[in-house]
Structures are given as structure tokens and as C-alpha cells.
Structure 1
Amino acid sequence: MTDISKIIEELPFYEKLLLKDLEENENISPEEVAKKDNINIKSVMSAAGSLAAKDIITVNKNTEEKVKLSKAGKEFAEKGLPERRVLNVLAYEKEIPMKDLAKKCGLDKKESVIALGWLNRKGWAKIDKGTLKITDKGEEAVDNYGEDEKILKKLFSSQGILKSELTEDELKGLNTINKRKNLIKNKKITSHSFKLNQIGKNIIKHGFEIGDRKEEATQLTHEDLKNGTWKNLHYRPYDINAETPKTFPGKAHPLRKIIEEIREIFLDMGFTESNGTTLDSAFWNFDSLFQPQDHAAREMQDTFYVKNPSECKLPDEEIVKNVAKTHEDGGNTKSTGWGYDWDVDVAKQSVLRTHTTGISTKYLASHEPPLKMFSVGRVFRRETINYKHLPEFHQVEGLVAAEGISFQHLLGILKEFYKKLGFEVRFRPAYFPYTYMSCECEIYLEERHDWIELGGAGMFRPEVLEPLGIKVPALAFGIGIERLAMIRYDISDIRMLYKSDIKWLRDIPLDNGVKLKFDY
């Protein structure tokens, strides 16, 4: 059984004050309470929230939409819609040569386009052999204003109108106006009302005194104990079951969290991290990977070429010579190469890297096997921005080079890597220009009951390794981090990862698949 006396005793001053106001008038609004009791509206809503948490009252929230004219809307309301201004001229002249339309009707170029579109849509006029002519429907409309024009006039003479106050015809007019761009501003107006619950009614029936307005102590301090002031303080009771407000501490961006998770997995597997530059030569980005200089991927529509600097410095002459030889006739790889004259000037071109694999070839050229390396970085491609493509995104690359390793080792490493990411993985044959025995990795999504491609892998071709002086096999694999993030966070639009959607960022759990490290 509810102890009403105990509840009343624990009620703070403002909550009792609000209850007294509700006793007098249950329909009183928060603003009226604030004015009546000469207190801040925030104090009223704070007291109401606390009473609602104790099930003493219910706080009802009502949201309405208020519409008003924008600056452009006011101009149209004042001068008249472009099609109305043309119709007013047509009412007397019946037809206007198209070349004279703007001048005769006092329209600018943009207004002329708008007027013609809406004249056609409303059926007021038609174009015949370069002349705009009024229609029968236009004749009828000369003295009869449409609902869109009427609501425009009504809004012009007001500071804004609640949608709920508009008639059905006015709402139709508003919908027509909304089909034009930037004429209407919409603003949500929120109001609150209170309702006494049974406990609240019982408190009022029981009766209570508000008491004096005095400062309430929320904690006992050392100073209070030392000087004896604790004896005269009024301590506010605590409800340990009361709801607390949400807090939003700073946290890493979800994309950054996944990058750190991947980095930790590689380091746990004994890999060393390497970083390259976002601006690199076509030599490392393409030529070192045995990609011919006339390959379609090198075209301007796929790659960002940089004007300043227009050229990059090439590595040691011996490496450049070996790569050139391999392209032309296969060099010492027993390959026939591509059979063309390799151009050093093409290799010097500056590009924004299109992948991170160039970091792997550069690492192979400067380190002796055995080695295990990974890299994480931004890459750039001339992609059309849409729900699954961006011109800038992240790639992660893994590289292992050692005596005796094989494709079987590659599959084993991949299984362990994806297992640490939390996925079951399977492989299917694939083709990549700089690897042989290549495969694509597919992960199983339990919620979709389906497999989805996530990354590719393969053994580097001899045409890649031999010019760099590597005499042992090397395996490589990589994944797109944004694609992984879309799967992890269940989003269908890649652009969400780069939007400042504060609600989405706040709602993502801190421990969403990411292992956190704490140092004590």
C-alpha cells in the first residue's frame, strides 16, 4: 500500500508548488505556472518530470507544425506568382511572343521559366509557334484566384499559422505551394499539459502544506560537520529508483573504432604496421604491380592525377630498370611481359593513390623477408557519390613474404583474421591483375542468412616480386573498411559514416564489437 504521508514528506518545494497549482486548475499550462509562481519555466518542467517519474502526474507533449513564408515566399506574395503576372498581361493581349515574355510581364529569367512551367501545369496558357496564348481555362482564372494564391496572401498578412488552424482547402493550397522550392518555412511548436494520476489525486485529497521556500542541501560536506551548520540544513530526500538523464560522453567515431580494432588484430597476429603517402608516383601505384601503362584503370575517369607536383621521384635506378624490363618482355620472370615500350615519364606522374597495395610493393623493395606487414589508409578514386560509392575511402592491406609459404597459408591467415573480426568466412576463386591463385572472401551474416563479399586476396605474381629483388613467395589480402563498417553498424548508405548525425553517433554502443584496452 502506498504511504502517501511518506511521499509528501519527500516532495521538494517546487513539486509541492506545482501540485498546489494543479489542485486549483488541472488544465494550467507550464507557462501559466511559471508566471503565476514567478519561477523559471525550466524549474516548472524539472518539477513536472520528477513528479511524472514518481507516477504522481502525467506530462503530455503536444507537437504542432507552424508554417510561415520565407523571404522568397514574401516576394511572391507581394508581387504575385509569376504565372499570375503573365496571366494578367495575357488577359488583355491574349498572346505574347516568347521573345517578349520577360519584358512585357516584368519577369527575370528564372521567373520566366517558373511562370511557363506553372502556366502549363494549371492549363492557363499554351505555346503555339513561338507565341504564348491564353486558354479557356486561363480566361476563367483571370478573376478567380486559386487556393495556393489565397493561402499565400493569408500567410503574408500573418507571422505564421498553425497547420491545425487551416481549412481543408487551405491545406490543399499549402500543398501546392510546397511543390515550389523554398517558399514556406515549417517550424514545430511543442507544448505540454499535465494530468493528475491516482497518486496525485490521493496526495491532494490527503492535503499538504507547501512550506517555506528554502535552499535544499543535496549533500553533507566536511564544512557542515565541522562548523555545525548541518543541524539547520533541510536535506532533500533521494529516490534511488528515479530515472537519470542520459549522458553523452565523448567517444571515438565508429569508423575510427573499426580501424583501431583491425590494427589491434594485426598486431596480435605479429604484423608490423607501415604507412605510405597519399600522394605517390604512378610507378608505385601502378607499374610496380605489373599494371600496363595503357590499362583502363589509369584513365582520368578512374584516377586523380595531380598538377602540382606533376612528377614524383622514382626509386633506385636498378628497380626502375627491372620493372621496365618486366613490362616490356617479362625480364627474368619467364613471362612475355606486355610487349610495349615502357615510358619513364608516365611512371613519374603524380597520383592520389587508388589503393594501399603500393605500400606493400614499396615495403618489399626496402625490407628483407621473412616479413609480415599491414597498412591502413585513405585511398582516392573518381567515383560518383551515391549510397555505396565515395571518391575517398579507407583500405587495409596485409602482406606476408617468407620461404615456403603457399596459398594454403594465405587461407589459414585469412580464416584467423576474419575469426578475430567475428565472422565465419569462405572463399571463392577470383581474378586480380597482380596476383595469381586469387580469391574473394565471403562472410556469413546470420541476420540475413546469406554470404556477402568482403575483401580479396592472392599470391603476388613473379612479375611483381622479381623486379623488387624478392626471391620468396608473398601473399597479400585487403578489405574496404567502410564496407565492413556498413555491415557492422547495419547501414545501407555509405555517406552515413561521414555525416554529422549526432543522434546516430550517440546511439552507437561503445562496445559494438570493439575490444577496448585499459591500462591500470
Structure 2
Amino acid sequence: MVYKTDELHIYEKKVLKAFESLGFSLKPEKIAKKQKMDIKAVMSAAGSLESKNLVKIHRKTDYLIRLNDEGLKYAKEGLPERRLLNYLLEKKSIKMKDLFRESPFEKKDINIGIGWLKKKNCIKIKKGVLEVTKKCEKFIDKDFEDEKLLKELLKKEEIWYSSLTKDLKKGYELLKNRGLLDIKEKTTHVLEITEEGKKLLDEGLEIIEEATQVTHEDLKSGRWKRLKYRPYDIFVEYPKIYPGKTHPLRDIIEEIRKIFISMGFKESRGPIVESAFWNFDSLFQPQDHAAREMQDTFYLKNPKICDLPDEKLVKKVKDVHEHGGSTGSEGWGYKWDISIAKKPVLRTHTTCISARFLFENKPPVKMFSIGRVFRRETITYKHLPEFHQVEGIIASKDVTFRDLLGTLREFYKKLGFEVRFRPAYFPYTYLSTECEIYLPEKGSWIELGGAGMFRPEVLEPLGIKTPVAAFGLGIERLAMIKLGIDDIRMLYRSNIEWLRKNPLVKGIKLS
């Protein structure tokens, strides 16, 4: 694109004009001094001229290197590996256990020294005996690369990276990786006029002060007629705007909330710190169940115990666990321990909210809850120790397992998924099923949660005499599918680029 001189801002003209008298390759500071401009104004104009191919900006980055406190200590006292090497040369060889017991060095310095001497191929360890290698003999009276730079920095205090020799640059990498340097980055600029810029200069540049705004006095006095105005370019590029918006995971949670509300469910909430009684015992989960173990559940040190609810309820739960109550079940056939039930945990599922709700509210009811749950999971691309779950129940004398399947099918349909069910096992439901949705692009089904009819052993202590359909569904996996991501950790990373690319408002369709 060819630019005319009257299309340029006055600062752009001033920068170009400087090349006319000072040469074709200039530092911004020199232009600022010549044209009596602020350096920021020069760089702003240069950036605009570069986008118009009238000026080329050459950038050069250098690093000012200094020793930090730990580096200064090593420069004065010697690196741990050097002090250890000198000690080993006196001993010839030494057992590892004797080294830690007899040497004058701290355990930390010994570990650091051994690690770096191994990296520098200066020692070998065989059957617990540490010896100096022949390869290291040349370093007895010769400095390592990092030692050379340490000595230089001790003498000069600070050095520019560009001035380092090849050996010192190797030492720089070693010391930087060890965190012994204080590094400051500095970028310098050189502006060079292009052939297009020279042509524009040859045409002649007239620098006239331009009006950036018209005042009341300008209008009143008629001065506005004599002012020089810069042409307004309606095709000029504009910066992208990224307004504030809710997180994509929060959008999906709100979408799920609106779906259940539209289906006639009432929302409920419960505490994150829960007693083992509500989290496990009330749901007929035996006290020796694998899910209760420390590797699956977060137990709290404080508070040490939780208060339990109504004594009658506790007694009924105990009886169901030990003998099955009056349900016709044999229970689990063990001696139920109230002290285990009092242990505080971070809830492992939101099903405990359903148990509480049924105890406090009599059927008919339709309830759902959305909340965070916690499990001792290793963090991977598909597992987190903390995630969201949506839980729900339908309690009515007429509710059936078929009603449960129909409800879940309708829920997933509103989210835009095809769903199927397959048999499953859960301690607190029977019949039980797992929900799976189909992913056409992958040609496979993925499991998203469990559901079933609460067992009589769960309902009897709570005083519920009607059937109760229950479900618990994971939200993060749904979010991954809807957002098109393969790593669950992305939902919790501060990846500003990914967050910006997601739509401002996600449509919620309630069919």
C-alpha cells in the first residue's frame, strides 16, 4: 500500500524527517534529541511506520548478569562440588556413609556436591564407595566453566551476556540453571528507513502542527477554519477487545442448573466438610468399604469429630448396618462403630446432600444439587482430586426405575447428547446403572455418572416409605466434551488465550 504524506501523523513525519539529516540507520534516543520528542512518542511513531513498511525496527536483546546472594556466597567460599572434590582427593576413596559421618560439610552441601560431581563426570560410586574419576584429574588445578564465571562476576560485579566468551557462556547456562544469577533483560532498538520511506522523503515532508480536538473557543472565533486536520482513516486496524465474562465451566454449570429447574426440580445445598455418617453410613456404605480408606478419602484433623443427627436416626442406621433392620436384608453383619461415623471428611460425592434432604423433607419431592466433591486422585489429563458433581433425587409413591431413565435421557437430550444405560453396582442403589453418551467424532461411548433406586436399607432409617430414584453425574467430563478439550486440567489453568477464544455468552437451549 502506498501512503501519502498527509496521511501520516505529525510524530511519524518528525521521525522520518530525522533520517533526512542524521542518516538511514538511527537509535531512537538520537531521533528524540534531534526532534525534541519524548522517547515513548518516537517508539510509538516508529511502530506505526513499521506497520506501513516505511521504517524497519531492529531489536537486540542482551542480559545484564549479576550474582544473587547464594551465588555470591559460592563465589567467595567455593562451589560445594569443588570443596567436596578437594576433600575426596585427600581421601582417594571413601564410603558414602563415612562421608556423611566424617566430613566437615553439611548434609545439604554434600548432596549438592555429589550431584554436580556426577554431572561433571568427576566421581563414580560403586558398592557404596565414592571415588574420583581419571576424567576429573584435569580439573584438579583447572576451573570448571561455572567457576570461571563466578570469579569474573566476583571481580566485576556485573557482566553483559554479549561480552562472554564461549567458555563463560557455558558457565552462564550452568549457573542460571542452579539459580545463582540475577539476570536483567535489556532490549535496544535501531530504526532503519526502508526504500518506501526514502521515496516519501524525496517527495518532501511538510511538518505542520495538526489539531487533535476542536475547542469551544475555536468554534466561537472561527479559528477552526484555519486548523490543519489529519485525515480520518475508517479502514485502520483496531485492537481486539476482550471483555470480562464468566468462566466456560461456570457457563456449563448454569446451563445444567437451568435444565433441572425447567424440569421441575428444586435446588439444595450442603456442607463441603461432612461427617462420615452422612457421607457413607447413611447411604448403607459399610465402614470397611475400600472407598473410605485414606487413599480415596480426605479425612480432616480439625475438627476432630462431627456432631451426629437425631439419636433415633443413628440407632436405625446402626441396626441396618448390623442386621438389615426390618428391610428383610441381612445388613453387612459387622459391629458398627459410632466413632468412625463421627470422623470429618471432605465430601466424596454430593449424594450425602440427598440423604440429608430426604431426612428433612417428606415425599413427594424432586431435588437436585451442584457442588464440589473431593477424592484422593492422582492429577492426570482426565482426573482431578477436586471436581463438580450434579446430584438429584425423585421421591414419590409412583416413581419407577423407568422414570429415572426417562428423566436422565431428557436431561442429556437438552444438553445435546445421545445417552444409553448399562448395568452397574453401587452400595446404596438397586437397580443401578451408569450413563454413557456417544461421541461421533471418536466413535465411542464415555461414562459420565451413576444412577439407581435407593435401597430400602438407605430409606428405612430416614423414614421414607416411597421409592426414591437417585443420580450423580460428573460435570467436568461434560465440560470437556462441550468445550472440545482433551485435558481436564485446562478447566482450571489460567490460560488467558484459551479463555479469550471461548464465546462471550453460551447459548442455553431448553427444548
Question: Who is 1:428 aligned against?
Answer: 422
2:5 equivalent in structure 1? 8
Q: Does 1:510 align with 2:501?
A: no
Instruction: Indicate conservation of the 8 Å contact 1:87/1:138, yes or no.
Output: no
TM-score, structure 1 length as denominator?
Answer: 0.83
Query: Normalising by the residue count of structure 2, what TM-score does the alignment of the two structures yield?
Result: 0.84
Identity %: 57
Q: Write out aligned runs for 1:159-170 (5 A).
A: 159-162=158-161, 166-170=164-168
User: What is the deviation of 1:406?
Assistant: 2.9
1:159-184 per-position Cα deviation (integer Å, ceiling 9, x unaligned): 2433x655554444444445x53224
Deviates more, 1:252-261 or 1:166-175: 166-175
Matched-pair contact (CA < 8 Å) for 1:126–1:135: yes
Q: Give the 3 Å change call, closer, same or farther, for CA 109–339 of structure 1 in structure 2.
A: closer
Q: What amino acid is aligned across from residue 161 of structure 1 in structure 2?
A: W
**1:291 shift after superposition:** 0.7
Q: Is 2:445 aligned against 1:451?
A: yes
Letter in 1 for 2:389: Q
Is 1:210–2:204 an aligned residue pair? Answer: no
Measure, in 1, the Cα distance between the counterparts of 2:25 and 2:323. 91
Q: What amino acid is the match of 1:423? A: F
Task: Give the whole-Å Cα distance in 2 for the aligned partners of 1:99 and 1:480.
Answer: 52
Is 1:200 paired with 2:197? yes
Q: 1:413 to 1:198 in 2, by over 3 A?
A: farther
Matches within 5 A, 1:68-467: 68-89=66-87, 107-125=105-123, 134-156=132-154, 157=156, 159-162=158-161, 166-177=164-175, 181-185=178-182, 188-196=185-193, 199-212=196-209, 216-217=212-213, 225=219, 230-231=224-225, 234-385=228-379, 387-467=381-461
> Is contact 1:456-1:477 (8 Å) kept?
yes
How far the C-alpha of 1:355 sits from its partner, in A, is: 1.1
Could you tell me how far 1:28 is from its partner in structure 2?
1.8
Q: Give 1:48's aligned residue.
A: 46
Partner secondary structure for residue 25 of structure 2: coil
2: CA distance between counterparts of 1:242 and 1:342?
A: 76
Aligned residue in 1 for 2:35: 37
Aligned length: 508
Question: For 1:459, what is the secondary structure of its paired residue?
Answer: strand
Alpha-carbon distance between aligned partners in 1 of 2:111 and 2:327, rounded to the nearest angstrom: 66
Measured at CA, do residues 232 and 375 of structure 1 come closer, stay the same or move farther in structure 2, by a change above 3 Å?
farther
Give yes or no for contact 1:440–1:454 (8 Å, CA) kept in 2. yes
1:359, CA displacement in angstroms? 0.6
- One-letter amino acid of the counterpart of residue 475, structure 2: I
Please say if residues 276 and 340 of structure 2, whose CA atoms lie closer than 8 Å, have aligned partners that are also in contact.
yes
1:289 positional shift = 0.9
When residues 128 and 355 of structure 1 are mapped into structure 2, their CA distance, relative to the original with a 3 A threshold, is closer
Q: CA-to-partner distance for each residue in 1:380-419, whole Å, 9 max, x for gaps?
A: 2334455544443322212222343333333332233223
Q: Is the alpha carbon distance of 1:315 and 1:152 closer, same or farther for their aligned partners in structure 2, counting shifts above 3 Å?
A: same
- In the alignment, is the contact (CA less than 8 A) between 1:257 and 1:514 conserved in 2? no
- How far, CA to CA, are the matches of 1:434 and 1:223 in structure 2? 82
Q: Deviations over 1:166-223 (max 9, x none)?
A: 5554444444445x532245555444454545643432231111224x6622xx5778
RMSD: 3.7
C-alpha distance in structure 2 between counterparts of 1:169 and 1:159, whole Å = 17
Distance of aligned partners of 1:386 and 1:32 in 2 relative to their CA distance in 1, 3 Å threshold: farther
- Counterpart amino acid of residue 216 in structure 1: T
Deviates more, 1:103-112 or 1:361-370: 103-112
Q: What is the distance in 1 between the residues matched to 2:43 and 2:376?
A: 53
Match of 2:26 in 1: 28
Shift of residue 101 of structure 1? 6.1
Letter in 2 for 1:404: D
- Shift in CA distance, 22/128, structure 1 to aligned 2, threshold 3 Å: same
> Aligned partners of 1:398 and 1:196: how far apart in 2?
69
Where does the alignment leave 5 or more consecutive residues of structure 2 unmatched? none
Whole-angstrom distance in 1 between the partners of 2:275 and 2:314: 12
Range that drifts further, 283-292 or 91-100: 91-100
Q: Report the Cα distance in structure 1 between the residues aligned to 2:394 and 2:476, rounded to whole angstroms.
A: 24
Residue 341 of structure 1 deviates from its aligned partner by: 3.2
Separation of aligned partners in 2, 1:50 and 1:221: 27
One-letter amino acid matched to 1:271: F
- Quote the Cα distance in structure 2 between the aligned partners of 1:22 and 1:409: 81
Of 490-499 and 375-384, more deviation after overlay is shown by 490-499
- Deviation of residue 358 (structure 1)? 0.7
Alpha-carbon contact 1:216-1:234 (below 8 Å) kept = no
Match of 2:424, SS? strand
Distance 1:410 1:29, change over 3 A: farther
Contact 1:68 1:160 in 2 (8 A): yes
Q: Cα–Cα, structure 1 residues 90 and 433, in superposed 2: closer, same or farther, change >3 Å? A: closer
| Mapping for residues 61-72 of structure 1, pairs under 5 Å | 68-72=66-70
- CA distance in 1 between partners of 2:262 and 2:151 (Å): 70
Following superposition, the deviation at residue 360 of structure 1 comes to 1.0
8 Å Cα contact 1:68/1:161 also seen in 2: no
